[in-house]
Amino acid sequence: MLLAIFAAVSVVLFLHPYVSYPLTLKFLREKPIKKGDGESLPSATLVFCAYNEERSLPSKIENLEAIKALNPQIEFMAYADLCSDQTVPILKSRPDLLTAVAATERTGKAFGMRTLVSMIKSDIIIFTDANVLLDPESVKPMLSYFADPEVGGVAGCLHYINAGESVTAGVGSAYWRLEESIKRLESRCGSIMGADGSIFALRRAHYPEVPPHLLDDMISSMGMIFAGLRLVSAPDVVAYERNTTASADEFRRKRRIACRAFNSHKHVWPQVSALGPAMVYKYLSHKVLRWLGALWLFFAAVFGALALVAWGLWWLALAGLIVPAGLFWLGARRNIPGLTAVVEILTSIGATFVGVTDSFRGQTYQTWTPAASR
C-alpha cells in the first residue's frame, strides 16, 4: 500500500503545476490594477539582443517602424553579440530608427541587456527578442499599467504563429497557451513568477544586476518582486513569434533554458524564501515542481511497478513498462496523431530535466544560437 501511495503522490506532484495549482489560484483574493488612461505615459526604450539574426531583422525593422509611427517618443536599442552574418550591418543601416551596439567578443544576452540598460535614461524599458514582433497597438496599453505605483513589471502575451507546421510547433504552442493562462491567474491575485524574454517591461530604476550565465528575463523581472512591486500579466499586450519545428532543435533549446533557469533558481531562492508562504507556494508550484517533472514520472513508474509486483501482478508491472516504451518508440518514428504529440510532450519534459541535471553538475550556458528550424 505504501508503494502505491508513493506512486500516487508522484503523479500528483507531476500534475500539480498544470492542474491543481491553477485551480487553487482562483480561490485567492483578487488584487486589481489601477491602469492609466493611455495618455500620460512614461518614457520608454525598447531593447533587444541579436546573434546571427539576419533572417529576422527585415521584419523586425518593419515592426519597429510601425511601433514608432504610433508611439513617436519611444526609442529603440539593439545589442549585436559578435555576429558572423549581416546582423550588424543591417542594424547599423538604420541609425535614424535605432541605436546599435556591436560586441567585440561573445558575451551572451544577459551581458548585452545590462550594457543597453546602462545607456538608457527612460523610465521604462521594454525587453523583447530579435525574432519577436510586437503588435504596435500594444505599446500604450503596456505603458499604462505603470500608472499603478505598485506595478514594477508587465509581461505581455506571446502567440506562436506557426503551430500547424509540425507536431513540435503545435505542442509548443499548446503548452504556451497553458502557460499564459496560468500567468493571468497568478497576476489576478498578485504577481506572476517571472516574465518570458519575448516581451516584458520593467521600471529602469529597479533593474537588478544579472550574472551573465543566468536567465536575464527571469532574474530582472523577479527583481521587481524583490523590490516590493508587482509583476503582472497583460493580455492586451500581444507579441508574435515563430516556434521551432524540429524536435532536436526544441530539445536543445529546452535543455539550455532549463539549465539557466535552475541556475537562476539557486541564485534567487534566498530572496524568494523571504517573500512569505503565498509567494513561496506560487514559485515552487510554477517553477520548481515543473522543472522536476521527469523525476516525478520516473518515481510514479518505479513505485507503481513495485506496488504491482508486491500484489503479485508482476506481469502487469512488466506490461506497464514495456507497452509505454514501445508506444514511445513508435510515436517517435512515425507521425501518428495524438501519439506523436505525447512523445513530443515527454521529450520536452525530459529535455527540461536534462537541463536541471546540467545545472547540478555545474554546467552554464552564457551564449545562444538561433534554432535553424525557427
For residue range 180-224, list pLDDT tens digits in order.
999 999 999 999 999 999 999 999 999 999 999 999 999 999 999
- pLDDT per residue over 173-185, tens digit each? 999 999 999 999 9
SS (H, E, C) the chain: CHHHHHHHHHHHHHHCCCCHHHHHHCCCCCCCCCCCCCCCCCCEEEEEEECCCCCCHHHHHHHHHHHHHHCCCCEEEEEECCCCCCHHHHHHCCCCCCEEEECCCCCCHHHHHHHHHCCCCCCEEEEEECCCEECHHHHHHHHHHHHCCCEEEEEEEEEECCHHHCHHHHHHHHHHHHHHHHHHHHHHCCCCCCCCCCEEEEEHHHCCCCCCCCCHHHHHHHHHHHCCCEEEEEEEEEEEECCCCCHHHHHHHHHHHHHHHHHHHHHHHHHHCCCCHHHHHHHHHHHHHHHCHHHHHHHHHHHHHHHHHHCCCHHHHHHHHHHHHHHHHHHHHCCCCCHHHHHHHHHHHHHHHHHHHHHHCCCCCCCCCCCCCC
Structural domain including 356 reads 1-374
**Which residues lie across from 126 on neighbouring strands?**
46, 201
Task: Say how far apart CA 266 and CA 294 lie, in whole Å.
Answer: 19
Q: Is the predicted pLDDT of residue 38 greater than 80, yes or no?
A: no
Which pLDDT does position 291 carry in this prediction? 94
Q: What percent of the chain has pLDDT over 90?
A: 91
Do residues 207 and 153 touch, judged by C-beta distance below 8 A?
Answer: no
Cell numbers that stand for 119 in this block: 545607456
- Mean pLDDT, range 130-134, rounded to an integer: 97
- In one-letter notation, the amino acid at residue 366 is Q
Do residues 186 and 193 touch, judged by C-beta distance below 8 A?
Answer: yes
- pLDDT per residue over 340-371, tens digit each? 999 999 999 999 999 999 999 999 888 878 87
Do residues 353 and 93 touch, judged by C-beta distance below 8 A?
Answer: no
The domain that holds 342 is classified in CATH as 3.90.550.10
Task: Say how far apart CA 182 and CA 18 lie, in whole Å.
Answer: 8
Q: Is the predicted pLDDT of residue 91 greater than 90, yes or no?
A: yes
How many domains does one find in the chain? 1
Residue 116: phi, psi to the nearest 5? -65, -45
Closest CA to 201 of 42, 350, 57, 91: 42
Confidence of residue 308 (pLDDT cuts 50, 70, 90): very high
